[in-house]
Amino acid sequence: MIVNGKPTRTIWLGDNGESVEIIDQTRLPHEYIVARLDTLADAERAIFDMQVRGAPLIGATAAYGMALAMRDDASDAGLENAYKVLYATRPTAVNLRWALDDLKGLLSSLPPDQRQAAAYARAAEICDQDVEICSSLGEHGRGVIEKIWNDKGKPERINVLTHCNAGWLATVDWGTALAPVYKAHDAGIPVHIWVDETRPRNQGASLTCWELGQHGVPHTLIVDNVGGHLMQHGMVDVVITGTDRTTAAGDVCNKIGTYLKALAAFDNDVPFYVGLPGPTIDWTIKDGVRDVPIEERDPGEVTRLVGLSDDGRIETVTISPKDSPAANFAFDVTPARLVTGLITERGVAEASEEGLAALYPEHQ
């Protein structure tokens, strides 16, 4: 995607060929800062502190984290330790496990002196593959948006509601929920995006608005509770979100609040689509509510807000009484029955075991 007029990915290899560079997403939209990762601990911190976030980008960073770890210790013990450290960073996005299993499988079959080069090469491949996958799912999703627009008689604007950030900042490039939006916009379809602010960390307000703005896509920021009202008044044509883990039966686990949007969409006959790359499917589970581990984060993210003060300083303010306890569940599960379709790199699947199996027969 374009940042300040320049094609940019969210993660890349530095000029020395070994450091890894990322966009520090904790500083957006107020500051655009590139951070450098040199060690396993740097990669661990980047994922844990959410300098990088979004399921596919977490996977890509973990892959490079393994490569950074191999620079310091390419022994079997070093490999095990790197896997363990990175695996513990965030529990919900299954792309993390997918990337780590991939790297571990490859590296453990090689002698230690070949592991570093192989890890860097594989991490780069995973990044390139993510770009290809997201671009392709974007094409399929563009078809979904175009059909809805055509079926409605090509209105002046087609309104898409999205939650959190499932744009290019959540992947290596293109995004999942937003890839179809970029492709539709670039094809001349007049998309307008309702962006849920997405409390508590406000990834919609800070990240989705920023990246849509960089690409020139018309959008409007709304608070999290507005979607139902907009749907009742015919102001949403389609909801598209991402997912951190999709079960083999088509349940989707995404940023907290996604489920409520799906319920409102169901009640108002608004199609609810989810964009996902194949590596976000967890083929080992079916029942999302029961089996997906839900991350619980620091309650301070609920009781405090970070923003830009009128005199240009980034500040943190407290919004609740000092002694009130808070809970911070970061994800929820939307059952497959509420999902109109799963937009993947292989096409649009029905959200069901049969639908996914038809697109990914190799997992049967």
Strands 331-334 and 2-3: unpaired
Query: For this structure, is 244 an active site residue?
Result: yes
Query: Of the candidates 247, 254, 334, 344, which one interacts with ligand MRU according to CB under 6 A?
Result: 254
> Residues binding ligand MRU: what is the number (CB under 6 A)?
17
Smallest distance, ligand MRU to C-beta of residue 18, A: 26
Smallest distance, ligand MRU to C-beta of residue 273, A: 13
Mutual angle of helices 112-151 and 55-72, in 10-degree steps: 170
Peptide bond into 277 cis (omega under 30): no
Query: Of the candidates 170, 193, 240, 356, which one interacts with ligand MRU according to CB under 6 A?
Result: 170
Q: In angstroms, rounded to a whole number, what is the distance separating the alpha carbons of residues 200 and 302?
A: 5
Q: Residue 211 interacts with ligand MRU (CB under 6 A)?
A: no
Smallest distance, ligand MRU to C-beta of residue 253, A: 9
Q: Residue 91 interacts with ligand MRU (CB under 6 A)?
A: no
245 CB-near residues (< 8 Å, 6+ apart): 55, 92, 93, 94, 252, 253, 280, 282, 288, 292
Contact 283, 277 (CB under 8 A): no
| 335: exposed, middle or buried (Cβ count in 10 Å: 0-12, 13-18, 19+) | middle
Query: Of the candidates 55, 160, 240, 348, which one interacts with ligand MRU according to CB under 6 A?
Result: 55
Q: Residue 61 interacts with ligand MRU (CB under 6 A)?
A: no
Q: Which stretch binds ligand MRU (CB under 6 A): 142-150, 227-235, 237-245, 284-292?
A: 237-245
The 10 Å CB-count burial string (b at 16+, else e) for 291-314 is: ebebbebeeebbbeeeeeeeeeee
Strands 11-13 and 6-7: unpaired
Query: Of the candidates 26, 43, 51, 54, which one interacts with ligand MRU according to CB under 6 A?
Result: 54
Query: Of the candidates 9, 23, 53, 100, which one interacts with ligand MRU according to CB under 6 A?
Result: 53
Q: In angstroms, rounded to a whole number, what is the distance separating the alpha carbons of residues 300 and 293?
A: 21
6 CB-near residues (< 8 Å, 6+ apart): none
Q: Which stretch binds ligand MRU (CB under 6 A): 30-38, 59-67, 164-172, 188-196?
A: 164-172
Q: In angstroms, rounded to a whole number, what is the distance separating the alpha carbons of residues 28 and 22?
A: 12
From the list 244, 251, 282, 332, the catalytic residue is 244
Closer to ligand MRU by Cβ: residue 100 or 118: 100
Contact 189, 154 (CB under 8 A): no
Q: Tell me the residue ranges of DSSP E strands in the chain.
A: 2-3, 6-7, 11-13, 20-23, 34-37, 158-162, 191-196, 219-222, 238-241, 245-247, 252-255, 272-275, 281-282, 304-308, 314-318, 331-334, 341-344, 347-349
Q: In angstroms, rounded to a whole number, what is the distance separating the alpha carbons of residues 321 and 318?
A: 8
Closer to ligand MRU by Cβ: residue 116 or 171: 171
Q: Residue 130 interacts with ligand MRU (CB under 6 A)?
A: no
Residues 326-345 touching ligand MRU, rule: CB under 6 A, are: 330
Q: Which stretch binds ligand MRU (CB under 6 A): 37-45, 170-178, 309-317, 342-350?
A: 170-178
Q: Residue 166 interacts with ligand MRU (CB under 6 A)?
A: yes
Closer to ligand MRU by Cβ: residue 59 or 78: 59
Smallest distance, ligand MRU to C-beta of residue 166, A: 4
Smallest distance, ligand MRU to C-beta of residue 91, A: 11
Q: Residue 255 interacts with ligand MRU (CB under 6 A)?
A: yes
Q: Which stretch binds ligand MRU (CB under 6 A): 114-122, 145-153, 168-176, 334-342?
A: 168-176
Which residues are near ligand MRU by CB under 6 A? Answer: 53-56, 93, 164, 166, 170-171, 176, 203, 242-244, 254-255, 330
Active site (catalytic) residues: 244
